[in-house]
Amino acid sequence: MSLKEIFELAIKNHQNNNLKAAENFYKKTLKIEPNHMGALNNLGLVFKGLGELEKASNHFKNVIEIDPNHTFALNNLGLVLQEVGKFEKALNYFKKVIEIDPSYKDAHFNYGNTFSSLNEYQKALNCYQKVIEIDPSYKQAFNNLGVAFQELGRYQEALNSYQKAIQIDPGYKDALNNIGGIFKKLGQYKKAMSFYEKLIKIDPNYKDALNNIGVVFHELGQYEKAMSFYEKAIKIDPNFTRAHFNRGVLLYERGKYENAMEVLKLINFKNSNSYLLSCLFKLDRPSVFQELLNKIIKIKEGNSFDAMIGSSCSRSKLKYGINISNPFCNDPLNYVLKRNLTELCDFNNIFVKTIRNILDKNNIPLKNQGLLTNGIQTSGNFFNYEVEVTNKIKNIIHSEIENYKKNFANTDEGFLKKFPHRYTLNAWLVSMKSGGKLDAHMHENGWLSGSIYINVPKNIKGDSGNLVVCIEKDYEKDKKQNVKKSINVVTGNMCLFPASLLHYTVPFESEEERIVLAFDVIAKN
């Protein structure tokens, strides 16, 4: 066979995804012509497809040595570097491609994806917009543009971008899933479900949509349905860790700790070990608990810790006498701060009127909250309902978080020393009527938790309506240890405290509603 015939066979097998056969023919091509750049570049792509990234990288470098301006090889080397997490180096290669050929749309696209990986979403936006200028039918650019807008909190622009991607390809699954995700984030569950269901009709095995349907049912308190969809997603992909994690958390929340442990101990996803630790505590297994706690702390040494680990450390010290250094916060009760916002801003106009107007519209989705008695809790993120209307509230909270950090600037506590540089605010409203209360709980995904009191009934007796923060509610009768703090709150107060603390409210009797805006600081990766 001639060189041309061998190379053509290589390409044919490559196109048919017969990678090993393609590898063989590309190598035969290179035996005849060692500097055949097409074969060198394509063999690099074959190795990339086989997951042999070092070999792929070497072949792209060989091409570049022969031709420093070979845009395909430069772009492909950038993709390999991106895949192994060397984002800064990847950027340099994509930038060079664009300098050589400003119309190379895939390089602009990859450039944007790399900026997204570095959380530089504004730069990513610019790249995707450049792709669209070059090729207005590039659906992936519209989709990823939407993702960048979403990360920047520009949800309407994100929706518009996803919808443009679908206009190009009505069956574009990733964009349909992302639109569902936007509506889920906004608490508009019916709309979210309609997109997920449309996706399932297109592809019954689209695992992300099945998992997301489960999340919606989970949020709505329809736990059996949620579980069934998590299990459907897992059946399609037994290694789908996100669905396993969601299933484990649901079992944990339903008090099925043994079952939750069986799920959580098999995965390494987000804070699965923290939930596993909490299961052991709930099941009262101190020796296994301590073993896992020591292991987690050793693994996480020097890295970020979560509130659940901090809570487990504090509670185990109280319950089991396990004296272990708390990497999150050793003395969380010392970091409870109450502020009077009425002295700092026009509280009535900014907070009270805004929130009452939103509540009066009566179209806010509600969450099934099993811990809440005689009250309602909104679902989704409050700050996503009416972004322009709630921006002032959000900005004040951000400012108070900075003041909180300054107030405790001299501390060595981990949750302040390692306070996340990037975080989101997740907020919700809780409205209680007479006899209302919220049972003891913690916000597992939070870093710093807070509450702003929009209306607290007047003339209630004693500690009625108080916020109580504690290490462990069951031990609050032990007068020898400082395990709780009862906070007398009035309208206009803001309370901030480490998310590792449990908290609850004291029942009250009044004709007035008790309305609270609660929120968490959520660390972003």
Over residues 189-216, the pLDDT tens digits come to: 899 999 999 999 999 999 999 999 999 9
The DSSP H or E segment spanning 98 is helix 87-100
In a domain, 193, yes or no: yes
Q: Rounded CA gap, 365 and 385, in Å?
A: 10
Closest to 385 measured CA to CA, from 439, 336, 426: 426
- Asked whether the predicted pLDDT for residue 61 surpasses 80, the reply is yes
Tokens 């002295």 identify what position?
343
Same domain, yes or no, for 348 and 432? yes
**The domain spanning residue 250 has which CATH number?**
1.25.40.10
Examine residue 447 and state whether it is found in any structural domain, yes or no.
Answer: yes
Place of tokens 């996100």: 242
Q: Is residue 285 domain-shared with residue 354, that is, in the same domain?
A: no
114-168: pLDDT as tens digits? 999 999 999 999 999 999 999 999 999 999 999 999 998 888 999 999 999 999 9
pLDDT tier for residue 422 given thresholds of 50, 70 and 90: confident
β-bridge mates for residue 338, sequence order: 495
Give residue-wise pLDDT tens across range 76-128: 999 999 999 999 999 999 999 999 999 999 999 999 999 999 999 999 999 99
- Would you report the helix, strand and coil content of the chain in percent, each value rounded to 5? 60, 15, 30
pLDDT, position 317: 87
Does 283 map to a domain? Answer: yes
> What is the C-alpha separation between 404 and 339, in angstroms, rounded?
10
344 and 261 fall within a common domain: no
pLDDT of residue 12: 92
pLDDT digits (tens, 9 = 90+) for 260-282: 999 999 998 888 989 999 999 99
Confidence of residue 475 (pLDDT cuts 50, 70, 90): low
Write the pLDDT tens digit of every residue in 487-508.
Answer: 999 999 999 999 999 999 999 9
Domains: count for the chain: 2
Give, for 517, the enclosing helix (H) or strand (E): strand 514-523
The pLDDT value given to residue 472:
86
List Cβ neighbours of 61 (8 Å cut-off, separation of 6 or more): 77
Do 424 and 289 fall within a single domain?
Answer: no
Which residue type, as a one-letter code, is found at position 389? V
Is the pLDDT at 477 greater than 70, yes or no? no
Q: What is the mean pLDDT of the chain?
A: 91
The verdict on residue 76 lying in a domain is no
Judgement on whether residues 364 and 453 belong to the same structural domain of the protein = yes
Higher pLDDT, 483 or 201: 201
What pLDDT, on the 0 to 100 scale, is given for residue 319? 86
Same domain, 282 and 345: no
Is there a single domain that holds both residue 362 and residue 492? yes
The answer on 389 and 287 residing in a single domain is no
Q: What is the pLDDT of residue 304?
A: 57
Spatial distance between the Cα atoms of 388 and 384, rounded to a whole number of angstroms: 9
Residue 56 lies in a domain: no
Q: Is 381 helix (H, G, I), strand (E, B) or coil?
A: coil
- The C-alpha atoms of residue 3 and residue 192 are separated, in whole angstroms, by 55
Nearest partner of 472 among 287, 327, 282, 207, judged by Cα? 282
CATH number of the domain enclosing 453 = 2.60.120.620
Per residue in 314-366, pLDDT (tens digit) is 988 888 888 888 899 999 999 999 999 999 999 999 999 999 988 888 777 78
* 514-523 sheet: strands from edge to edge: 337-340, 493-498, 448-455, 514-523, 423-438, 372-378, 366-367
348 and 429 within one domain: yes
Per-residue pLDDT at 28: 86
Q: How much of the chain exceeds pLDDT 90, in percent?
A: 70
Is residue 299 located within the same domain as residue 337?
A: no
pLDDT of residue 394: 95
* Residues 6 or more apart in contact with residue 331 via CB below 8 angstroms: 413
* CB within 8 Å of 377: residues ≥ 6 apart: 366, 367, 369, 428, 429, 430, 431
For residue 436, pLDDT beyond 90:
yes
- 510 with 422, same domain: the answer is yes
Q: Are residue 426 and residue 491 in the same domain, yes or no?
A: yes
Name the residue with higher pLDDT: 7 or 247.
247
pLDDT at position 132: 98
Structure tokens at 74: 């430069």
Across 374-394, average pLDDT = 87
User: Is it the case that residue 239 has pLDDT exceeding 60?
Assistant: yes
| Residues of the domain holding 282 | 181-303
Evaluate whether residue 458 is within a structural domain. Answer: yes
State residue 495's pLDDT score: 98
SS3 19: helix
Q: Which residues contact 305 (CB under 8 A, 6 or more apart)?
A: 327, 328, 414, 415, 418
Q: Per-residue pLDDT for 258 more than 90? A: yes
Q: Is the pLDDT of residue 478 over 80?
A: no
Q: What percent of the chain has pLDDT over 70?
A: 97
**pLDDT tens digits, one per residue of 210-236:** 999 999 999 888 899 999 999 999 999
